[in-house]
Amino acid sequence: MGRRILDAFAIAVVLGATLGAFAQGEPEGPVQPLDLRVRPVRPAESSSPVSGGTITLEAGTQIPLVLRQGISTKNARVGDAVYAQTNFPVVRDDHTVIPAGTYVQGTISEIKRPGRIKGRAEVLFHFTTLIFPSGYTVSMPGSVENVPDAEHSQVKGSEGTVQQDGEKGKDIGTIASTTATGAAIGGLATRTGKGTGIGAGMGGATGLAIALLSRGSDVRLENGTAVDMVLSRPLVLDRAKLPQR
């Protein structure tokens, strides 16, 4: 009897110790479920700066061009296209903004043929588009400031009209030449001073008729003619699309 009591006591002690160990190992409070959701990984930020912003060429900036097709008031029409290329780079802050060889397109706005009695030939054209070698295209307000290679032509007015030089000297030369020729013929025919005078008069009249009935010279700008273009308004360019340093 006494031994059974001792065995039961020993079993109770072992059970109590085991329950105490389990109680100490349990976490306090409710058990939180495990979060198995996949979180997106943020990409590392680049340390290199991204090029951006704009570059503005102010109004009045001069850009040298060369024509890539001829223009003549004899056969040109209003609305015809004008093609040119830059022949020298435009640089800002040690950066090539417009490289040499950039295409420039324009259009003819006005044409005036030379008159028979008076009136000089004139042509007015404007540049409208800038096309970079990369294909980057920009609308551009440009006008003609000077045509240094054009013979017997000059630029007049603020819009850049190219006008043919006057030909009064040419007309006078024509009249003088025909007068002298008529005088010589009259003198030889009659061998008298009167004949010389009559011939001179007839020659002068002929020369005057030629001068009045003939048109003046047309404006002719050959392929390869240098043209100085000037910006009529500021030109804003996307820095990221320009040639790299």
pLDDT per residue as tens digits for the range 156-171: 877 789 988 755 544 4
Residue 106: the pLDDT is: 97
H-helix or E-strand spanning residue 227: strand 226-231
Asked if residues 79 and 109 have their Cβ atoms less than 8 Å apart, the reply is no
Highest mean pLDDT among 37-46, 93-102, 205-214: 93-102
Residue 20: the pLDDT is: 53
| Angle, CA 20 vertex, CA 16 and CA 23 arms, to 5° | 140
Residue 113: the pLDDT is: 86
- β-pair type (137-146, 122-131): antiparallel
pTM over 0.75: no
- The span from the CA of 152 to the CA of 138, in Å, is 33
Which structural domain, as residue segments, surrounds residue 133?
A: 54-165+218-241
142, two tokens: 């440009």
Q: Identify the three-state secondary structure at position 201.
A: helix
Same domain, residue pair 172 and 161: no
The number of distinct structural domains making up the chain is: 2
- Give the model's confidence band at 184: pLDDT under 50 very low, under 70 low, under 90 confident, else very high: very low
Same domain, residue pair 121 and 91: yes
- Give the model's confidence band at 93: pLDDT under 50 very low, under 70 low, under 90 confident, else very high: confident
Please report where in the chains the tokens 């990369």 appear, as a residue.
134
Residue 234: the pLDDT is: 95
- Give the model's confidence band at 114: pLDDT under 50 very low, under 70 low, under 90 confident, else very high: confident
Rg (CA), the chain: 46
Q: How confident is the prediction for the chain on average, in pLDDT?
A: 73
Residue 98: the pLDDT is: 95
Residue 132: the pLDDT is: 96
Same domain, residue pair 101 and 84: yes
CA distances to 171, 209, 210, 211 from 198, in Å = 21, 17, 18, 20
Q: Identify the three-state secondary structure at position 215.
A: coil
Residue 211: the pLDDT is: 41
Same domain, residue pair 182 and 127: no
Same domain, residue pair 66 and 150: yes
pLDDT tens per residue across span 230-244 = 999 999 999 899 877
CA distances to 72, 74, 88, 115 from 152, in Å = 13, 16, 25, 16
Same domain, residue pair 129 and 233: yes
Cβ neighbours of 205 (radius 10 Å): 14
Asked if the structure places residue 31 within a domain, the reply is no
145, two tokens: 């400031």
Please report, as a single letter, which amino acid is at residue 91. Answer: V
- The span from the CA of 142 to the CA of 229, in Å, is 6
Position 124 pLDDT exceeds 50? yes
**If phi over 0 gives left and psi between -120 and 50 gives alpha, with beta otherwise, what is residue 117?**
alpha
| Angle, CA 122 vertex, CA 120 and CA 126 arms, to 5° | 165
- Give the model's confidence band at 181: pLDDT under 50 very low, under 70 low, under 90 confident, else very high: low
Half-sphere exposure of 236 (CA within 13 A, CB side): 3
Same domain, residue pair 107 and 225: yes
Same domain, residue pair 144 and 83: yes
pLDDT tens per residue across span 69-79 = 999 999 999 99
Of 72-76, 123-127, 134-138, 175-179, the poorest mean pLDDT is in 175-179
Residue 58: the pLDDT is: 94
Instruction: Give the CATH number, domain containing residue 68.
Output: 2.40.128.260
101 versus 158: the higher-pLDDT residue is: 101
pLDDT tens per residue across span 1-13 = 555 554 555 555 5
Q: Which residues contact 73 (CB under 8 A, 6 or more apart)?
A: 111, 112, 113, 114, 121, 122, 123, 164, 218, 219, 220
Same domain, residue pair 82 and 121: yes
Residue 193: the pLDDT is: 53
Same domain, residue pair 117 and 187: no
